[in-house]
Structure 1
Amino acid sequence: MQCDYFDAGRCRSCALMGVPYAVQLAEKHERCQQALAAVAPDVTWLEPFASRESAFRNKAKLVVGGRAGAVTLGILDPQLGGVDLRACGLHEEPLQRLIPRLADVVDEIGLEPYDVAARRGELKHLILTLSPTGEVMLRLVLRSRKHLALLQSRLPRLLEHLSEVRVVSVNLQPEHKAVLEGSTEVVLTEQSMLEMPVNDVTLNLRPNSFFQTNTVVAAGLYRQARDWALEVRPDTVLDLYCGVGGFALHCATDGQGAPRRVLGVEVSPEAVLSAELSADRFWAASPRAVDLSFRTGDATDVSALEPTVLGDGTSMVVVNPPRRGIGADLAAWIERSGADHVTYSSCNVDSLARDLARMPSYVARQARLHDMFPQTTHHEVIVLLQRESLSLTEQPVYRGAQR
């Protein structure tokens, strides 16, 4: 990938810019293999799941700088001034076409950019999420409610000029610190969710729900988890850190070997509401009865995970934690839980290695790198673990990677 911003020294966010993509992928794969070598010596590494090297991001997180009527959308320079990156080639092409028009609309409305150095102004960030349908969610992060009435009055104009946008919300982040968004969200449009079709599952995103940044690679990640679930055929799947239900819904997908019960646990009430809506639609379309449910809770609060949560039959625990990993307490709970298999999806292979060492009763059978973030050293690794005590007759035959 070639980037004029990188070549001009205006943006260095992509540390691997200029490195051939095949080399990037091979080096990430080797890095992950080395990190897990000691804790997973016999794991079978599947072929890395590659991404497009450009135009792969479904989300744009844009710092607003400049001045009212002449905003910049991009990042801040070392002096905290705005650097305009509205033509960034990492974003999917529909976003690349939308962002310059969005900048024009912000200028026309007269929203005042937040000046970090002076600690004054209102508009801090613009966050865009693109669905495979072509529809977009737009979130405006403001310091206060000062511009809220103005935005509400100009909403018809905004939607007229930005026809792709279906959901518009304001997030209030009043604090002067490096935090992208606050806890208060005000939805301005009648539509409050963005549909995200992924494989044969439609997920639903509310404004502050998490979704993977690379839709194509996320689809591959979910398919890998589903393939493993269909191979090991658990009666129960417990999806911790379930978010909007991506793993849970894919593991509940109809097919021979689908589990009887799937439970997702997520700390964000908004994400749980999104997952429940997706589950309602899944039930309506599914000819098989699957006990599919979600509940709000902290995945690391093991006191809330009652011993009966995995049921009496075979079971699989799915975890997709933040960079810090699942930690000692949850690893210990899984270790004593009796779960037959664990599917662990990690964005930090080092914390993954620490957590695997905390679960000595499990053996890593297969692992696969999913390259969510080309041009950077970031990575996503998914690993299938099997309880070592399973007899040979209980062990499934792993068929390997499917695209």
Structure 2
Amino acid sequence: MQCDYFDAGRCRSCTLMGTAYSGQLADKQARCVAALGPGPRWAEPFASRPAGFRNKAKLVVGGHRGAPTVGILDRGGRGVDLRHCGLYEDGLAEVVEQVPALVGELGLVPYDVPRRSGELKHVLITHSPAGELMVRFVLRSPGQLGRIRRGLPALRDRWPTARVVSVNLQPAHAAVLEGPEEIVLTEDQELPMVVNDVRLRLRARSFFQTNTAVAAGLYRQAREWIDEVDPPSLWDLYCGVGGFALHALQRPDASARDVLGVEVSPEAVESARAAAADLPGASRFVAGDVIAHLQTSPSPDLVVVNPPRRGIGTDLAAWLEESGVEHVLYSSCNVDSLAGDLARMPSLVPVRARLFDMFPQTPHLEVLTLLHRAG
């Protein structure tokens, strides 16, 4: 992939830009094998499109009223306009190009980091496979909320597929993407994301993988490995909006599997419950601390974990090691923390593994590993 912004030194976020994609993929595979060892049976890496793969735009707003920039900030806190970035998928790319014009039409004042003045900090846009949009404006205060509310008809005239529009309030002068308060301005609260045969539902603060095509491949592979084991009961810990759990509901013989999802975010749990209502099979989703839940319930046959970059940590690793759970499916975005967790669970041995390249042009990756209890 060639990028004018990278070549001009305006953006260095894609640290592997200019490296042949085949080389990027080979290097990531080598890192994964080094972390997990040669023991598991490695499937062929699941490649991405090198460009045009992002379903989400996280745009820092800079510049000034009437001449906003959207992209990133330079080291001095000034806006760098990247509206023509080549990473956005078709449909989203065209929307991003129009964001500065919309910001101007709404009369929104970009937040000036060096001066700590202004209001609009970020515009966050998610694009679904059906071409629908979730558009979020991150403001320093409610001062310009009325402008966005009154401008909603104009926004929908420009983007008729905008299903969810919201304002997030982030008052802190800090490098934080969003704040705790979300004000949804549309009747619809959720953006449907159809992945394989599952209709996930994203709310404003829900997490979903940035690369829809590779996420679909990840869930298909997870379902295949789960079906090979065919556990009657399954827990999906750190379940988010339920991607793994909902893909695992049906057993190969079409009977229902007992599936439980646990997630700290009540909003994500509500999304998972709503999506589960569209599917056959028995599932439960509970909001709460994963570790606290372990103390009150009998162990399932298989556990899925999809933790943040820090990994599952000492407590959950110790519980899994001692629990008697026969199978663990571990999806990791950090092979180093994954290796550390595996060292804490010597009884659970990696038998299958596959790299999923969610983030071309960067060193980031996702690796899925199936663990079986030794002996």
TM-score bracket for this pair, using the shorter chain length: over 0.9
**Matches of 1:316 and 1:95, distance apart in 2:** 37
Contact kept, 8 Å, 2:227 with 2:251, in 1: the verdict is no
Give the C-alpha shift of residue 256 in structure 1: 2.4
Q: Which residue of structure 2 lines up, in the alignment, with residue 248 of structure 1?
A: 245
**Matches of 1:132 and 1:254, distance apart in 2:** 26
Give the C-alpha shift of residue 105 in structure 1: 1.1
Give the AA of the match of 1:381: V
Q: Deviations over 1:354-384 (max 9, x none)?
A: 0001111111101100000000000100100
Give the AA of the match of 2:192: E
Contact kept, 8 Å, 1:233 with 1:259, in 2: the verdict is no
**Matches of 2:254 and 2:218, distance apart in 1:** 19
**Matches of 1:250 and 1:188, distance apart in 2:** 31
**How large is the RMSD of aligned CA atoms in angstroms?**
1.2
Give the AA of the match of 1:23: G
**Matches of 1:36 and 1:259, distance apart in 2:** 33
SS at match of 1:344: strand
**Matches of 1:304 and 1:318, distance apart in 2:** 14
Give the C-alpha shift of residue 162 in structure 1: 1.5
Please state if 1:271 is matched with 2:268. Answer: yes
CA 1:63–1:233 in 2, change beyond 3 Å: closer, same or farther?
same
Q: Which residue of structure 1 lines up, in the alignment, with residue 20 of structure 2?
A: 20
Q: Which residue of structure 2 lines up, in the alignment, with residue 183 of structure 1?
A: 180
Contact kept, 8 Å, 1:62 with 1:126, in 2: the verdict is yes
TM-score, normalising length from structure 2? 0.98
Give the C-alpha shift of residue 322 in structure 1: 0.4
Please state if 1:372 is matched with 2:361. Answer: no
Contact kept, 8 Å, 1:44 with 1:366, in 2: the verdict is yes
Please state if 1:293 is matched with 2:293. Answer: no
Q: Which residue of structure 2 lines up, in the alignment, with residue 397 of structure 1?
A: none
Q: Which residue of structure 2 lines up, in the alignment, with residue 134 of structure 1?
A: 131
Contact kept, 8 Å, 2:222 with 2:244, in 1: the verdict is yes
**Matches of 1:331 and 1:277, distance apart in 2:** 30
Give the C-alpha shift of residue 254 in structure 1: 5.2
Give the C-alpha shift of residue 298 in structure 1: 1.8
Give the AA of the match of 1:179: V
Contact kept, 8 Å, 2:251 with 2:257, in 1: the verdict is no
Deviates more, 1:197-206 or 1:250-259: 250-259
**Matches of 1:9 and 1:174, distance apart in 2:** 31
Q: 2:198 aligns with which of 201, 208, 212?
A: 201
Q: Which residue of structure 2 lines up, in the alignment, with residue 400 of structure 1?
A: none
**Matches of 1:368 and 1:17, distance apart in 2:** 24
Q: Which residue of structure 1 lines up, in the alignment, with residue 316 of structure 2?
A: 330
Q: Which residue of structure 2 lines up, in the alignment, with residue 236 of structure 1?
A: 233
Give the C-alpha shift of residue 307 in structure 1: 5.5
Q: Which residue of structure 2 lines up, in the alignment, with residue 78 of structure 1?
A: 75
Q: Deviations over 1:92-142 (max 9, x none)?
A: 121111112222111111100001111111000000001000001000000
Q: How does 1:97-116 map to 2 (within 5 A)?
A: 97-116=94-113
Please state if 1:317 is matched with 2:303. Answer: yes
Q: What 5-or-longer segments of structure 1 have no aligned partner?
A: 390-403
Q: What 5-or-longer segments of structure 2 have no aligned partner?
A: none
SS at match of 1:73: strand
Give the AA of the match of 1:338: G
TM-score, normalising length from structure 1? 0.91
**Matches of 2:185 and 2:164, distance apart in 1:** 8
Q: Deviations over 1:54-99 (max 9, x none)?
A: 0000000000000011100000011111000001000112111111
**Matches of 2:343 and 2:71, distance apart in 1:** 40
Q: Which residue of structure 2 lines up, in the alignment, with residue 394 of structure 1?
A: none
Give the AA of the match of 1:60: A
Give the C-alpha shift of residue 352 in structure 1: 0.0
Contact kept, 8 Å, 1:240 with 1:319, in 2: the verdict is yes
**Matches of 2:125 and 2:261, distance apart in 1:** 26
Identity %: 60
**Matches of 2:245 and 2:48, distance apart in 1:** 23
Q: Deviations over 1:145-204 (max 9, x none)?
A: 000111111111111112221110001000011110011000001111000000000000
**Matches of 1:226 and 1:89, distance apart in 2:** 32
Q: 1:87 aligns with which of 84, 87, 90?
A: 84
Q: Which residue of structure 2 lines up, in the alignment, with residue 64 of structure 1?
A: 61
Contact kept, 8 Å, 2:230 with 2:251, in 1: the verdict is no
Please state if 1:217 is matched with 2:208. Answer: no
Give the C-alpha shift of residue 257 in structure 1: 7.1
**Matches of 1:323 and 1:220, distance apart in 2:** 20
Q: Which residue of structure 2 lines up, in the alignment, with residue 11 of structure 1?
A: 11
Q: 1:155 aligns with which of 152, 156, 160?
A: 152
Give the AA of the match of 1:117: P
Give the C-alpha shift of residue 13 in structure 1: 0.4
Q: Which residue of structure 2 lines up, in the alignment, with residue 305 of structure 1?
A: 294
Give the C-alpha shift of residue 260 in structure 1: 2.5
Give the C-alpha shift of residue 35 in structure 1: 1.5
Give the AA of the match of 2:360: P
Q: Which residue of structure 1 lines up, in the alignment, with residue 349 of structure 2?
A: 363
